[in-house]
Structure 1
């Protein structure tokens, strides 16, 4: 059974299912999706490592510059230090104490939420499969940037895995993780994520799955299932940094994503891989589909938790698209979207345990036109 001394002491309950043996967690998730989507032919679930899988740390910085805490806030607003959280990859666990010392060295005053004062709000740390790190300092203002730059060479010497560093400015006092403006601190601005034979470039404001092993399996399954269909044309809607679009084999692939940072990452990966048949465009997925003059053979959708919604579901149902590959992190919104597409029948589905020790997961479902 996975264990964590923070969970046992009641300091952190983010892993709501941690008290259950891992195989019990997996069975419960499989039963949940089978209940929500009874018409799907479910394959066995894909298990994850129960600990040490999380490639990104989102650490609230609290306390003082001399004695910072990196972790979460308790109900009273005080910091709970989780720098040894066992969910994180070993590289992140090793980096967080070094970064805590850097907060003190650079005199970065943690942001005091109740008092609305201070500067450093979050430390965001991502580790690549190669063990390289991206670190982002989320600040209220530019005031500490000069001190960060001054002490950065010493940090890079102490933490040689750190290859991408930046400052994100989030001046507002509200529960928003990051702002729009990013200030690069290193010459290298992208973290190379080698996943299932593909090099994906991750920029500071780009999204990537938090479980690298499950992301690799997700893209591998997508490539296999799409390959069995053999489409001539594919759209990858909500494509992010291009994981599915760059994995599948088709003469024509178009990836659509609202984030321009993610599109820039996807285009860099495409150009390095010399995939001339893949095109990316920044824009709204639903608007792109509704405004298109022709439909592709197959559409991939990988939306946020809210799902694709009635407009895109309705378009897919009436479009003539032969197959849809739907990757979902919320089976409830997936069930709602599938109910709105009665002309597309689920062929198979598979659960990937992207988020062990919680009730969350990823589900991949292949639909075909009736």
Structure 2
């Protein structure tokens, strides 16, 4: 992939830009094998990769400049806006929407936030595209000062971008390097974005997590489902389940499935998907994963874990190690923390591993590991 922004030194976010894509994947495979070198006898499945460009379904764009000529992209070292509307990582749908949004910001008179001066209102736009080409659009504002103006001009935006089916305003009053605040105001009748993956539709609400690479997410859930069906558990937990991707795909009429997620909004989304799919033996619980496992009186046949980059940590890994669970399916976005967690669970041996290249042009990747208890 060639990038004018990278070549000009305007943006260096993609650490592997310019490296041939097959070389990128080979480097990731080498890194993963090194991290898991303490676990011999593993079956290594072929790595999965999709497009090396145009794969991102979500864009988090800093809004800067002024209302006449806003920039959408990142900030430079001085806190000034760098426009990245033609970023090659973004899907064609996202790229086509950026000029429409820039024009709307100007016509609506929304004032971009000036970081050095701490003035202005509009900090970010967060745009997510569904597999069907619909959008969730979130305006991150410093306050509610321009909220009335945003509401008044909403029909104009919906006419210009009719595929934006969910639009909201997030209120983020603090001056710090975080993306969003606690208050979310939905401006449309529709509150969730349908994410159709094969025969299953997941529902994404404004503050719920979804993988940024739809093609790889689809394969991630397919592979997880294959491994779950191979061991055929009668019951399973999906820890850190998010909007229920793994749990819902692995659900069967004769299988008890419970998803555990700390975000109540994500749990509401997962429950809606389960109801639409008629999955009467699938439920979702709002709870901290470690607390849930620690307080549970018994364990299922299989546990799926998809933790954040920090991994499971010593306590949760120890609870799984001592639980007697027969199989664990671990989806990891950080091979270093993955290796640490596997070492904390010596009774659960990795039997299958697959690399999923979720993040081309970077050194990041996703790893799937199937663990089997060998200490019985």
TM-score normalized with structure 1 length: 0.99
- Once residues 73 and 349 of structure 1 are traced to their aligned partners in structure 2, the CA distance between those partners, rounded to angstroms, is 38
Match of 1:240 among 222, 242, 267: 242
Corresponding residue number in structure 2 for 1:83: 85
User: Deviation string for 1:189-214 (max 9, x for gaps)?
Assistant: 11000013210000000000000000
CA contact (8 A) 1:236 1:255 kept: yes
How far has the Cα of 1:150 moved from its partner? 1.0
1:335 to 339, 342, 354: 339
Equivalent of 1:365, from 356, 359, 369?
369
Are 1:306 and 2:345 an aligned pair?
A: no
Instruction: Give 3-state SS (helix, strand or coil) of 1:137's partner.
Output: strand
Aligned ranges 1:1-370 → 2 under 5 Å: 2-38=1-37, 39=39, 40-250=42-252, 251-370=255-374
Query: Stretches of 4+ moved more than 2 A in 1?
Result: none
Distance 1:196 1:87 in 2: 23
- Give the drift of 1:249: 3.4
Partner Cα distance (2:112, 2:10) in 1: 20
Distance 1:196 1:80 in 2: 37
CA distance in 2, matches of 1:10, 1:209: 28
Q: Deviations along 1:46-86, whole A, 9 cap, x unmatched?
A: 01200010000000011001110000001111110001111
Query: Secondary structure of 1:209's partner?
Result: coil
CA distances 1:184-236 after superposition (whole Å, capped 9, x unpaired): 11111110000132100000000000000000000000000000000011000
Tell me how far apart the structure 1 counterparts of residues 235 and 198 of structure 2 sit (CA, whole Å). Answer: 22
CA drift of 1:246 comes to 0.1
Equivalent residue pairs, number: 369
**Contact 1:196 1:220 survives alignment (8 Å):** no
Give the 3-state SS of the residue equivalent to 2:29 in structure 1: helix
**8 Å CA contact 1:34, 1:42 repeated in 2:** no
CA-atom RMSD, angstroms? 0.7
Distance in structure 1 (CA, Å) of the matches to 2:218 and 2:361 = 20
Partner SS state of residue 212, structure 2: coil
Distance 2:54 2:277 in 1: 30
